[in-house]
Amino acid sequence: MELSNFEYLQLFTSFSFLFYGILSFTSHKMKNEFIRWGISRFRLIVGISQLVGSIGLILGFQYPLFTLLAAIGLSILMFLGFILRLKLRDGVLKSSPAFIYFIMNLLIVLNEVNY
C-alpha cells in the first residue's frame, strides 16, 4: 500500500505529538517550560490533548473523521502555543516549531475536507 504525502505528514505529526505528549508527563525540562510559560496548571490538559490528537491521527487511517477532528484540535493547540510564545517574546526561532506544526495540521485538515 502506497502512502500519500499527506499520509506521511499524518504519521509524522502523530508520532511527534505522541512523543511530546509523553514528555509533558515525564520530562522535568517540559514541566519547567510550562512554569516559564505561566501555564503550568494546563500541562496535563495539553499533554492529554497531544496524546488524544496523536491517537486520533493514527485511528484516522481507518476512520477518516478522526483525522479531521484530531488535526483540527492539534491545529488549535499549536496556534495557541505559537501565540503564547510570541507573547512571551521567545522570538521567531523558538516560536517556529509551534507555527510549523500548526501549518502541518492545517494542511491535513484541508486535505481531509477536500478528500
Question: How does pLDDT run across 24-55, given as a tens digit for each residue?
Answer: 999 999 999 999 999 999 999 999 999 999 99
CA distance linking residue 37 with residue 88, whole number of Å: 7
Tell me the domain boundaries of the chain: 5-114
- As a whole number, mean pLDDT of residues 76-93 equals 95
Give the angle subtended at the CA of 11 by the CAs of 44 and 52, to the nearest 5°: 25
Stated as kind and residue range, the H or E segment containing 45 is: helix 43-59
Question: How does pLDDT run across 11-28, given as a tens digit for each residue?
Answer: 999 999 999 999 999 999
pLDDT attached to residue 115: 72
Whether the CB-CB separation of 9 and 110 falls below 8 Å is answered with no
Question: How does pLDDT run across 57-72, given as a tens digit for each residue?
Answer: 999 999 999 999 999 9
Read off the C-alpha cell for 6. 499527506
